[in-house]
Structure 1
Amino acid sequence: MTKEEYDDDDIGRYNHKWAIKDISRMEFQANYLASCILLPRNYFLLEFRKIAAKHHLYRHGKALLFVDQQRYNQEMLRIVTGRLVRIFGASRQAVILRMLHMSLLVDKRNSSFKRTADVLDELKLF
């Protein structure tokens, strides 16, 4: 598989704010679809639970994994997603999208992953 990308020159051809928003939305949709295809729900959940048990992650509220600005929580996200990336051969973004969609992750950071969670809420995909 190859990765298709766009750059600022592609966006610059369109002088409309909606074009940037549409391209970003299409990229998100492609990443979301890829996460569903590459990360089958039952197998992904099984592997996630194995990793969670190994690292003594227990459900706190809605999810097993919670990330915010604390270094420990960010390190746990890096460890868990890194292992899942190696198991499934998917991108870290795809793994995080899948975890958000399956309510395995609550992300309270002010970052692109937070915005991804907001987009999932907006799309009401689940």
Structure 2
Amino acid sequence: MKQLPPDALEHVANYFRTLSETTRLRILNVLGTGELSVGEIAQEVQSSVANVSRHLAQMAQYGLVTRESRGNAAYYRIADPAVHELCDLVCGSLVRRFDQVASDHAAFLASAPSTAKRTRRSG
């Protein structure tokens, strides 16, 4: 981030705040398969239509999704494919970190004396 002005940083913070809610991430994940109606999204994320609509409105405000009305139904799709790239980047980073923790844990267990060995020595 190159010396962004405070107003721009506020917008960036709101964008990330919008992404920080689990239901919204689930909605984005479902929309990764294509355009869906609000009812279909609600069914997929196991939430009410009203709750999903509220989340979609906030996501649309920050340009994450776009809405198209067809008859009585509203259909949503991902507005900016970069959101998937961002999620892939974050998920990849988390996987690498979890793998490192698991590797460190396994190395610790392999180098630590077992309880059985300690019991035999002391008994």
Question: By the TM > 0.5 criterion, same fold?
Answer: no
**Structure with the larger strand share:** 2
Q: Which has the higher contact order (CA 8 A, sep 6+)?
A: 1
Could you state the TM-score of these two structures normalised by the residue count of structure 2?
Answer: 0.29
